[in-house]
Amino acid sequence: MNPLTPKLIILLTLVVRAVWADPVPMNKPVTGECLRIADKLASVNYDECMNRRLEAGSGISVTGAPILYKEYPPLNSRRPLGRVLLVGGIHGDEYSSVSIVFKWMGILDVHHSGLFHWRFVPLLNPDGLLRKDSQRMNANNVDLNRNFPMRDWLQLTHDYWINKTNSNPRRFPGAGPLSEPETAWLAQEIDRFQPDVVVSVHAPHGVVDYDGPKDGPYKLGRLYLRLIGTYPGSLGNYAGVQRNTPVVTIELPFAGIMPTPAEVSNIWRDLVRWLVKNIQETPLKVAQD
Ligand SMILES: [Zn+2]
């Protein structure tokens, strides 16, 4: 046999695999990001990441990584009940908060029925997660969940940081509101998309938290409602309290251990039920035209 043949076969296999496994081969930022995500997360492999057909848009992290997103738009068959923005991985060391968003996108890829107009951001803080040692903060060492605007931002966030956290570097709110490209982009997304509900995924407190008008979901899967309180500069404070848009914060029990597949489905099922009931009953905004 020609000694080149085995190498040729391997090369051809790689080429074929790359073409088959890559549903959007021209979208290099997504390919690169999926390689990095699969390398970091035990629960999300490369093919799964690519199969979600995420998009790289205008969102860019401090180091230039794309902030991937996916839209499940309204279908012709029905008018959606409302718009839901779902965000994972605000904190880069909360692995499960990213992985579970991939699982939920996998459910919607099969079952999207136009009930809601969804926008998913599985990983708002790619620099925090995808560095060698994952960290809560972004590449500027800012806690993104303290960087959202509010009245008297500078005084309130810094007072809280200094007095309540003892200047914990993991909770540094940044130099100013929306000083970070990741939070600035998400705030723009909220302006553009005008969600009826924001869902934010974290770990490891094992509860559901809620900010906004009316009451939050009493129970999602095995997670029960417990109001943790709003932190100055948090997404819950920004969207829930100041913009009056309900923010459901799902705190998974473990940052490094995924809930069981059954629990992943149960949280999703309960969330959708709550959304159906509450978006319909909330006369805040009407579904998109
Ligand atoms: Zn968190």
DSSP codes of every residue in 88-129: --SSTT-HHHHHHHHHHHHHHHHH--SSSEEEEES-S-HHHH
Q: For the stretch 112-132, what's the b/e string if a residue is b when 16 or more beta carbons lie within 10 angstroms of its beta carbon? A: eeebbbbbbbbbbbbbbbbee
Distance in angstroms (rounded) separating the CA atoms of residues 262 and 28: 34
- Residues linked to residue 119 through DSSP beta bridges, in sequence order: 71, 85
Each residue's pLDDT, cut to its tens digit, for the chain (289 residues) gives 455 566 666 556 555 555 555 444 457 889 999 999 999 999 999 999 999 999 999 999 999 999 999 999 999 878 999 999 999 999 999 999 999 999 999 999 999 999 999 999 999 999 999 999 999 999 999 999 999 999 999 999 999 999 999 999 999 999 999 999 999 999 999 999 999 999 999 999 999 999 998 899 999 999 999 998 889 999 999 999 999 999 999 999 999 999 999 999 999 999 999 999 999 755 545 444 4
CB neighbourhood size of 11 (10 A): 11
| CA 24-30-31 angle, 5° bins | 75
- Torsion angle of the four alpha carbons 243, 148, 208, 120, in this order, in degrees rounded to the nearest 10: 90
> How many angstroms separate the alpha carbon of residue 135 from the centre of ligand 1?
11
Distance in angstroms (rounded) separating the CA atoms of residues 178 and 186: 9
> How many angstroms separate the alpha carbon of residue 117 from the centre of ligand 1?
25
> How many angstroms separate the alpha carbon of residue 90 from the centre of ligand 1?
6
> How many angstroms separate the alpha carbon of residue 173 from the centre of ligand 1?
14
Q: SS3 for 251?
A: strand
